[in-house]
Amino acid sequence: MKTYHASCFCGAVRFEADGDLADGTMRCNCRFCRKMRYWEMRLPDPAGFRLLAGRDALVETPRAQDDGLQMHHWFCGRCGTRLWTDGDIPEMGGRFLQVCVAALDDAGQDELIVAPIHWADGARDDWWQPAPETRHL
Matching CATH number, 2-123, of 3.40.50.720, 2.170.150.70, 3.40.50.300, 3.30.43.10: 2.170.150.70
Output 66 or 122, whichever has higher pLDDT. 122
CA separation for the pair 92, 25 (Å, rounded): 14
* Dihedral, CA of residue 42, residue 47, residue 53 and residue 56, to nearest 10: 90
pLDDT tens, position by position, 100-130: 999 999 999 999 999 999 999 988 888 788 8
pLDDT tens track for 83-104:
999 999 887 788 999 999 999 9
Q: pLDDT grade, residue 67 (50/70/90)? A: low
Give the C-alpha separation, 84 to 96, whole Å.
11
Supply the pLDDT for residue 136.
82
Q: Is the pTM of this model over 0.85?
A: yes
